[in-house]
Chain A
């Protein structure tokens, strides 16, 4: 007997997010036209938000495990600044080598934060909110310590790398002068998409990923089922830190300059994206593809507002806020009606059995 299972909560919430994104984008194409009719518009959203996709993954992982990480924006800021300073100061001749060292530096900073915070949260059992809040302050503090002035990357090799883009001719468009302008995807966006798939794979098919779901579903039960709860939680923060470090590097690739307030409040965007994509703050439910669409939804709203007469940054913030509120409301309505139906179904099953 083959029968389709009803969507899990995770799948249902993600489907809603995808549906809303498609609807929104279609409306933008219909009413705003212009840029939205070109594929490049979509690629620009990816290019501009590649670091946010990575941060979204970083948050989704810890949120599924029932935690939170608000230090990710700070870690991006610190990484960007440290890498920019390193690149400008390095005396390694070989440019590939110096860029590799920069990448290692970025990942190292992210991992250091991940390991430190993970240890405090998991083994010392301190509230994740408090630990990562402290982490955020530490990262921002270190960033200003490194330099209070903006630092522009002057490293030639890196600047070359920033210009590298994947050209996709068949999605391009014909410019006014008759030339074909291919659609362009930046390296950072490709990295983000690859990591998105890897993170999905980790959460869906790797033992650690499943342990994180179990832990978020019910920590006590996870323990009794024989899961190493502390280790799983620790690793979720380590991965989260790693992804934040990588996000910093990707940020630098998109905008090669360090500033004290780089990626300011981006942790909030990442949290919002996760929630919109169907990750519940209570843990145990979520999916990085949903988060990906969460990022796209937030970015598209901003684009729409830029193109509309309401072009003001506070309108963008309000729209994002309204979107988040709308999603949370929608989720709680969907989940609670589901809950009721579920109980009925369970009763029915019991009845059939009896």
Chain B
């Protein structure tokens, strides 16, 4: 063992009912290193982190920390914090009813009396320093998801820790915020902090990391220096097989023709959150809305689905005028919608995987026409396979699935309804590369083979370029351009977003 090692985990085992989440996993973290922990959804990354921070008790193995005699015994997040381990968990773990400042300092300050003034001063300084658009005395539930994520990061970064753990910290951040986080990470690194970084964005891994540890199915695949592991190999190591189907994707392609029937058509549709806009989509077409975070791309599709209060506009479905003022109307008209904020509008943690998958279909059929058990099982099985959902069984509670697998369950819910028109807002966020491709393929297949019309939104432009045959570009809540054919290049999209013309 080198003497610049600050954390050593050896032979870590963790068993959940029905799942072996970790078996004999080793992990080593050195001073001043950014160490990416990689693996598919459900590989055991978050579990390894939670074992380290005392959220879960390990079933076997040992942990050593620099500065601690003998094995480190960590039985609660409190212990971990005291030993200098700061963590940003995958799911945001702050208290919505407390202020921003209190969320930054609660649970880690000495003394029995709360130093409110000091909290406020220090928090304000920290917020300004990091450019987080929030006020110290603001209640956390008044903050957007991205801001909450940043507050969690600020709390961890401020902890003067030896080990900093970031479990998918970038999933709801935009490019600028990610850049800021990276410069923060580099700064901490130069001060000798060891950082564990989990993400599904491969470019981000190569941008900041020094070393990569790969897990697969709860087992250690290996530890590599970043320069020894090119991206293609990393993916192969994560999936256990090579990824070479980008070409397949092109073959499927989008086959719709301009003279195909128009499925959905809206004139001057507007909602409480979006300005009036016109939009239509053909049968079998895959299109996308793009633009920066907050450009109104999500609000536009929410208006289509009636998720916000609709304030005006005419809507035609297959040429017939329909009135869509709430999600239920949209569903009856044949529109499906996977929302961006799945924590809020999606997952029901206390229901099983099967029930979660069946949910929307059941609503569409009406509760008085129940499906047979066998039918439900068949449907659930089909999508668990198609989306590679890692779950012990159909009856497992969704709450116990890994973050990415929960996302897949909700995606399955909407795919299963086979709507005429499906809207997917960030369907691949938090999902591993292999499955991301599977989802893109599935989207194209649904369009080509079942003539489904699909609107696809993603912050990753490459992903949209690969799937969409038409891109609608938005800025400041206005549609500023529409790109098709040859115009569908990264450069052109960027230019349009930035305002460089059509």
Q: Residues of A with Cβ closer than 8 Å to B?
A: 3, 5-6, 8-10, 204-208, 210-211, 213-214, 216-218, 220-228, 284-285, 342, 344-347, 349-354
Contact = CB atoms under 8 A, between A and B. Distances in A.
B146 interface: yes
Given A350-B144, A350-B293, A210 B81 contact: no
Contact of A207 (B112, B143, B477): B112
B319 interface: no
7 contacts: A3-B135, A5-B135, A205-B116, A206-B114, A226-B76, A353-B133, A353-B146
Given A342-B142, A347-B273, A349-B133, A226 B114 contact: no
Contacts of A10: 97
A228 B97 contact: no
Nearest to B159: A226
A224 B113 contact: no
B243 interface: no
A208 B98 CA distance: 14
B459 to A, nearest CB: 12
Contacts of B138: 5
Given A5-B137, A350-B294, A354-B293, A228 B76 contact: yes
B115 to A, nearest CB: 9
Given A210-B102, A350-B144, A352-B133, A221 B78 contact: no
A345 B133 CA distance: 12
Contact of B106 (A205, A210, A352): A210
Contacts of B106: 210-211, 214, 225-227
Which 6 pairs show the lowest CB-CB distances between chains A and B? Answer: A226-B107, A217-B97, A217-B95, A354-B294, A224-B93, A284-B97
B137 A226 contact: no
Nearest to B292: A354
A48 to B, nearest CB: 33
B94 interface: yes
Interface of B: 53, 55, 76-78, 80-81, 87, 89, 92-99, 102-103, 106-109, 111-114, 116, 133-135, 137-139, 141-144, 146-147, 174, 272-273, 292-295, 299, 476-477
Contacts of B116: 205
A187 B81 CA distance: 46
A247 to B, nearest CB: 25
Contact of B113 (A205, A349, A350): A205
Contact of B97 (A5, A213, A225): A213
A3 to B, nearest CB: 8
A346 B143 contact: yes
B74 to A, nearest CB: 12
Contacts, number: 125
Given A227-B78, A284-B95, A346 B112 contact: no
B434 to A, nearest CB: 29
A227 B134 CA distance: 24
Contacts of A208: 112
Nearest to B475: A354
Given A342-B141, A347-B144, A349-B133, A226 B94 contact: no
A206 B294 contact: no
Contacts of A342: 141-142
Given A214-B107, A222-B95, 12 more contacts: A9-B97, A9-B139, A206-B112, A207-B112, A210-B106, A217-B95, A218-B94, A218-B96, A224-B89, A227-B78, A346-B147, A347-B273
A20 B146 CA distance: 38
Given A213-B98, A220-B93, A284-B95, A225 B294 contact: no
A214 B299 CA distance: 32
Nearest to A223: B77
Contact of A221 (B94, B114, B273, B477): B94
B95 A214 contact: yes
A224 B87 contact: yes
A23 B87 CA distance: 49
A52 B230 CA distance: 70
